[in-house]
């Protein structure tokens, strides 16, 4: 068995190779002068099971993933498992308006076309896994995030909306603390309305936990409410740190103590590795 790391997820691939005691295949990845992607798997993987690790975000990494899958297929790999730490396009999981695509389904079908199995981390909605036409499973980064937050003495976990309550409960159970949620209404892609809600946050070290931080709007509004309610400090933690536009500035301006993300998308805030939760599924 070989682990193949795409350029978006090299570090995760290296960690997985160590955890699973299997070799990391040598690959060449470069860009043509017109910015098209070139990849080559140097090792002989004929009749070998391979695990391709590549985050499907942004678009150029999705193309690289397709090319890695095809290179593995063409080289005669006996089984191709795609480990996709973050699946882009997952939030467009239905037609919100007439004439729109179901982007998550499109991506799932394209990935399935050259794979035998898929593993992803904290898919935006669990039912997205049904869009794949091969076996697809998700794992949660919450246990790893919770371990980190416990070390920071966090004593209150908050979900920024009701949909994220289960995640908050799981983290709180690991830490051994209280949890609650905010009432959120999304106005559009960049604006959210968080209804003020009386929380027992006074004097607490709070962590708000979510699957994605994109524009930072959801988290910023929640941080403000918590600070207004007398929280001692407010950590924000997410699995997938997209940090679009001025998200980081928004979080700091809102008064956040620390930003924590995993390494599904590499950033300065990738403080928690998802490799252990993926390794448990392999």
Q: Are strands 183-186 and 192-195 parallel, antiparallel or unpaired?
A: antiparallel
User: Residue for token digits 């390794």?
Assistant: 279
Rounded CA gap, 116 and 113, in Å?
9
Among the residue ranges 19-27, 96-104, 150-158, 211-219, the one whose residues contact ligand R5P (CB under 6 A) = 211-219
Residue 93 near ligand R5P by CB under 6 A:
no
In this chain, which of 192, 201, 231, 275 binds ligand R5P, going by CB under 6 A? 192
* Of residues 114 and 170, the one with the C-beta less far from ligand R5P: 170
From the list 55, 109, 44, the residue with the least C-alpha distance to 77 is: 44
Q: How far apart are CA 198 and CA 27, in angstroms?
A: 54
CA distance 240 to 85: 9
Please select the residue that binds ligand R5P; options are 48, 155, 180, 210, rule is CB under 6 A.
Answer: 210
Q: According to the binding rule CB under 6 A, does residue 241 interact with ligand R5P?
A: no
Residues making up the chain, counted from first to last: 282
Nearer Cβ to ligand R5P (16/142):
142
| Nearest alpha-carbon partner for 25 in 8, 10, 38, 37 | 10
User: Measured from the CB atom, is 22 or 244 closer to ligand R5P?
Assistant: 244
Contact at 8 Å (CB) between 16 and 282?
yes
Nearer to ligand R5P among residue 124 and residue 204 (C-beta):
124
222 binds ligand R5P (CB under 6 A): no
Cβ(110)–Cβ(103) below 8 Å:
no
- Other Cβ atoms less than 10 A from the Cβ of 84: the count is 32
Q: Which of 121, 211, 234, 248 binds ligand R5P (CB under 6 A)?
A: 211
User: Three-class SS of residue 100?
Assistant: coil
Contact with ligand R5P (CB under 6 A) among 87, 212, 248, 265: 212
Give the contacts of 189 (CB within 8 A, at least 6 positions apart). Answer: 215
Q: Which of 12, 25, 119, 213 binds ligand R5P (CB under 6 A)?
A: 213
Q: Among residue numbers 104 through 163, which ones bind ligand R5P (CB under 6 A)?
A: 160
Contact window for ligand R5P (CB under 6 A) among 50-58, 62-70, 207-215, 222-230: 207-215
Q: Which stretch binds ligand R5P (CB under 6 A): 61-69, 115-123, 213-221, 271-279?
A: 213-221
Name the residue nearer to ligand R5P (CB basis): 60 or 91: 91
Catalytic residue among 184, 204, 221, 250: 184
73 flagged as catalytic:
no
Q: Which residues pair with 12 in a beta bridge?
A: none
Q: What residues make contact with ligand R5P under the rule CB under 6 A? A: 160, 164, 192, 210-218
Known catalytic residues are 184
């Amino acid at each position: 068995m070989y682990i193949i790391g795409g350029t978006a997820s090299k570090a995760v691939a290296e960690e997985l190779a160590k955890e699973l005691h299997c070799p990391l295949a040598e690959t060449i990845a470069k860009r043509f002068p017109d910015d098209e992607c070139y990849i080559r798997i140097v090792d002989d993987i004929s009749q070998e099971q391979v695990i391709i690790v590549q985050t499907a975000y942004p678009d150029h990494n999705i193309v690289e993933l397709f090319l890695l899958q095809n290179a593995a297929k063409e080289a005669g790999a006996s089984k191709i498992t795609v480990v996709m730490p973050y699946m882009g396009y997952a939030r467009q999981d239905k037609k919100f308006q007439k004439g729109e695509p179901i982007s998550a389904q499109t991506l799932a079908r394209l990935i399935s076309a050259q794979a035998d199995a898929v593993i992803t981390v904290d898919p935006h909605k669990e039912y997205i896994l049904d869009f794949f036409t091969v076996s697809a499973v998700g794992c949660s980064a919450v246990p790893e995030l919770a371990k980190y937050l416990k070390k920071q003495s966090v004593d209150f976990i908050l979900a920024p909306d009701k949909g994220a309550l289960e995640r908050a409960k799981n983290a709180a159970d690991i830490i051994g603390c209280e949890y609650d949620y905010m009432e959120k209404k999304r106005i559009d892609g960049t604006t959210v309305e968080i209804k003020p809600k009386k929380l027992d946050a006074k004097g607490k070290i709070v962590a708000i936990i979510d699957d994605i931080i994109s524009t930072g709007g959801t988290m910023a509004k929640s941080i403000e409410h918590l600070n207004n309610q007398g929280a001692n400090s407010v950590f924000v933690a997410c699995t997938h740190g997209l940090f679009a536009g001025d998200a980081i500035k928004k979080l700091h301006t809102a008064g956040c103590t620390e930003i924590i993300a995993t390494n599904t998308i590499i950033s300065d805030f990738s403080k928690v590795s998802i490799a252990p939760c993926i390794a448990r599924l392999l």
